[in-house]
Amino acid sequence: QDVLRHCRQHLEDFMVPRYVEFRESLPKTPSGKIRRADLR
């Protein structure tokens, strides 16, 4: 909630995420890049 509140105060309405999810680690490809498609 604090993260979303901060976003609402500092970003335009269309840029505020609908939700925020905290993860222990990010999904990565074998070469070490972040798999952005898996985060959506």
Q: Where are the domains of the chain?
A: 2-39
| C-alpha to C-alpha distances, 20 to 29, 30, 36, nearest whole angstrom | 22, 26, 15
pLDDT at 1: 86
DSSP secondary-structure letter at 34? Answer: B
Query: Which ranges constitute the DSSP H helices of the chain?
Result: 2-10, 36-39
pLDDT at 8: 97
pLDDT at 39: 86
Residue-wise pLDDT tens digits, 6-23: 999 999 999 999 999 999
pLDDT on residue 40:
81
Mean pLDDT rounded to a whole number for the chain: 94
Sign of CA pseudo-dihedral 30, 18, 1, 6:
positive
Q: What is the pTM of this model?
A: 0.59
